[in-house]
Amino acid sequence: MPRVMLIGEWRSGKSTLIRILSRSDYRPRKVFAVDHHGDFVNTPSEFLENRRWYPALITASAHCDILIFVQDATRTTCQIAPSLDAMFNRKVIGVITKTDLPEANVARAERFLRNAGVRDMYAVSLATGDGVDALRQELGLE
Protein backbone atom coordinates (compact mmCIF):
# COMPACT_ATOMS: atom_id res chain seq x y z
CA MET A 1 0.00 0.00 0.00
CA PRO A 2 1.28 3.48 -0.77
CA ARG A 3 2.02 5.98 1.99
CA VAL A 4 -0.48 8.85 1.71
CA MET A 5 -0.20 12.37 3.13
CA LEU A 6 -3.25 14.62 3.48
CA ILE A 7 -3.01 18.41 3.23
CA GLY A 8 -5.97 20.69 3.80
CA GLU A 9 -7.56 23.44 5.83
CA TRP A 10 -8.95 23.06 9.32
CA ARG A 11 -12.17 21.01 9.39
CA SER A 12 -11.88 20.09 5.72
CA GLY A 13 -12.30 16.38 6.49
CA LYS A 14 -8.71 15.07 6.58
CA SER A 15 -9.08 13.04 9.79
CA THR A 16 -12.46 11.63 8.79
CA LEU A 17 -11.02 10.69 5.39
CA ILE A 18 -8.19 8.80 7.12
CA ARG A 19 -10.70 6.96 9.34
CA ILE A 20 -12.82 5.90 6.37
CA LEU A 21 -9.95 4.98 4.05
CA SER A 22 -8.05 3.04 6.72
CA ARG A 23 -11.23 1.39 7.99
CA SER A 24 -10.04 1.97 11.52
CA ASP A 25 -11.06 3.79 14.66
CA TYR A 26 -8.91 6.84 13.89
CA ARG A 27 -10.67 9.71 15.63
CA PRO A 28 -11.23 13.00 13.82
CA ARG A 29 -9.39 15.67 15.76
CA LYS A 30 -7.38 18.84 15.45
CA VAL A 31 -3.75 17.83 14.93
CA PHE A 32 -0.96 20.11 16.12
CA ALA A 33 1.94 18.15 14.66
CA VAL A 34 2.44 15.67 11.82
CA ASP A 35 0.32 12.66 12.81
CA HIS A 36 1.04 9.17 11.49
CA HIS A 37 -1.65 6.49 11.36
CA GLY A 38 -0.56 3.36 9.54
CA ASP A 39 0.18 4.39 5.96
CA PHE A 40 -1.52 7.79 6.38
CA VAL A 41 0.08 11.07 7.38
CA ASN A 42 -2.18 13.85 8.65
CA THR A 43 -0.73 17.35 8.57
CA PRO A 44 -1.76 20.33 10.69
CA SER A 45 -3.81 22.89 8.81
CA GLU A 46 -1.31 25.55 9.91
CA PHE A 47 1.30 23.96 7.63
CA LEU A 48 -0.89 24.91 4.69
CA GLU A 49 -2.25 28.20 5.97
CA ASN A 50 1.14 29.76 6.80
CA ARG A 51 3.79 29.69 4.08
CA ARG A 52 6.54 29.68 6.70
CA TRP A 53 5.59 26.05 7.33
CA TYR A 54 5.95 24.90 3.70
CA PRO A 55 9.37 23.37 4.43
CA ALA A 56 7.65 21.19 7.04
CA LEU A 57 5.20 19.98 4.38
CA ILE A 58 8.07 19.14 2.04
CA THR A 59 9.91 17.26 4.78
CA ALA A 60 6.80 15.36 5.88
CA SER A 61 6.15 14.30 2.27
CA ALA A 62 9.63 12.79 1.82
CA HIS A 63 8.50 9.23 2.59
CA CYS A 64 5.05 9.49 1.02
CA ASP A 65 4.00 8.15 -2.37
CA ILE A 66 0.81 10.15 -2.87
CA LEU A 67 -0.32 13.54 -1.59
CA ILE A 68 -3.99 14.42 -1.24
CA PHE A 69 -5.08 18.05 -1.27
CA VAL A 70 -8.40 18.11 0.60
CA GLN A 71 -10.90 20.86 -0.26
CA ASP A 72 -14.20 21.34 1.56
CA ALA A 73 -16.95 21.94 -1.04
CA THR A 74 -18.79 24.30 1.30
CA ARG A 75 -15.93 26.80 1.59
CA THR A 76 -15.99 29.97 -0.45
CA THR A 77 -12.22 30.45 -0.15
CA CYS A 78 -9.16 28.24 -0.48
CA GLN A 79 -5.88 28.32 1.43
CA ILE A 80 -4.09 26.00 -1.01
CA ALA A 81 -1.62 28.18 -2.89
CA PRO A 82 -1.63 28.35 -6.70
CA SER A 83 0.60 25.64 -8.23
CA LEU A 84 1.38 24.19 -4.80
CA ASP A 85 1.69 20.76 -6.42
CA ALA A 86 4.94 21.89 -8.10
CA MET A 87 6.61 22.01 -4.68
CA PHE A 88 6.41 18.23 -4.36
CA ASN A 89 8.01 15.49 -6.41
CA ARG A 90 5.07 13.17 -5.77
CA LYS A 91 1.74 12.26 -7.28
CA VAL A 92 -0.86 14.78 -6.10
CA ILE A 93 -4.59 14.16 -6.23
CA GLY A 94 -7.47 16.26 -4.99
CA VAL A 95 -10.38 15.20 -2.82
CA ILE A 96 -13.46 17.37 -2.53
CA THR A 97 -15.30 16.65 0.71
CA LYS A 98 -18.74 17.48 2.10
CA THR A 99 -20.38 17.15 -1.30
CA ASP A 100 -23.64 15.97 0.33
CA LEU A 101 -24.29 19.27 2.11
CA PRO A 102 -26.85 21.69 0.62
CA GLU A 103 -24.35 24.56 0.46
CA ALA A 104 -21.73 22.46 -1.36
CA ASN A 105 -20.37 23.88 -4.60
CA VAL A 106 -18.29 21.13 -6.22
CA ALA A 107 -17.47 23.20 -9.33
CA ARG A 108 -15.94 25.94 -7.18
CA ALA A 109 -13.91 23.39 -5.20
CA GLU A 110 -12.67 21.89 -8.49
CA ARG A 111 -11.52 25.35 -9.62
CA PHE A 112 -9.64 25.82 -6.36
CA LEU A 113 -7.87 22.47 -6.76
CA ARG A 114 -7.09 23.03 -10.43
CA ASN A 115 -5.55 26.36 -9.48
CA ALA A 116 -3.35 24.45 -7.00
CA GLY A 117 -2.17 22.24 -9.88
CA VAL A 118 -4.30 19.16 -9.22
CA ARG A 119 -5.34 17.17 -12.29
CA ASP A 120 -7.04 14.10 -10.79
CA MET A 121 -9.92 14.81 -8.41
CA TYR A 122 -12.48 12.83 -6.49
CA ALA A 123 -15.67 14.31 -5.07
CA VAL A 124 -16.71 12.37 -1.98
CA SER A 125 -19.26 12.44 0.78
CA LEU A 126 -17.74 11.04 3.92
CA ALA A 127 -21.21 10.92 5.48
CA THR A 128 -22.86 8.82 2.76
CA GLY A 129 -19.79 7.12 1.27
CA ASP A 130 -20.41 8.45 -2.25
CA GLY A 131 -17.18 8.51 -4.27
CA VAL A 132 -15.11 6.75 -1.60
CA ASP A 133 -14.81 3.47 -3.55
CA ALA A 134 -13.29 5.24 -6.57
CA LEU A 135 -10.81 7.02 -4.29
CA ARG A 136 -9.89 3.76 -2.55
CA GLN A 137 -9.27 2.17 -5.94
CA GLU A 138 -7.06 5.10 -7.04
CA LEU A 139 -5.01 4.73 -3.86
CA GLY A 140 -4.67 0.97 -4.29
CA LEU A 141 -6.61 0.18 -1.14
CA GLU A 142 -8.97 -2.34 -2.76
Mean pLDDT of 21-43: 88
Phi, psi of 15 (to 5 degrees): -65, -40
Q: How far is CA 90 from CA 12, 67, 79, 109, in A?
A: 22, 7, 20, 22
Report pLDDT digits (tens) over 129-141: 999 999 999 999 8
R_g of the chain, CA atoms, integer Å: 14
Confidence of residue 31 (pLDDT cuts 50, 70, 90): confident
pTM of structure: 0.95
Confidence of residue 26 (pLDDT cuts 50, 70, 90): confident
Dihedral, 40, 123, 106, 94 alpha carbons, nearest 10: 40
Domain boundaries, the chain: 4-139
Residue 114: the pLDDT is: 98
Number of Cα atoms under 13 Å in the Cβ half of residue 13: 24
Report the mean per-residue pLDDT for the chain: 94
Regarding the domain delimited by 4-139, which CATH topology (the fold level of the hierarchy) does it fall under? Rossmann fold (3.40.50)
Mean pLDDT of 75-103: 96
Confidence of residue 32 (pLDDT cuts 50, 70, 90): confident
Confidence of residue 29 (pLDDT cuts 50, 70, 90): confident
DSSP state of 75: -
Residue 97: strand pairing partners: 72
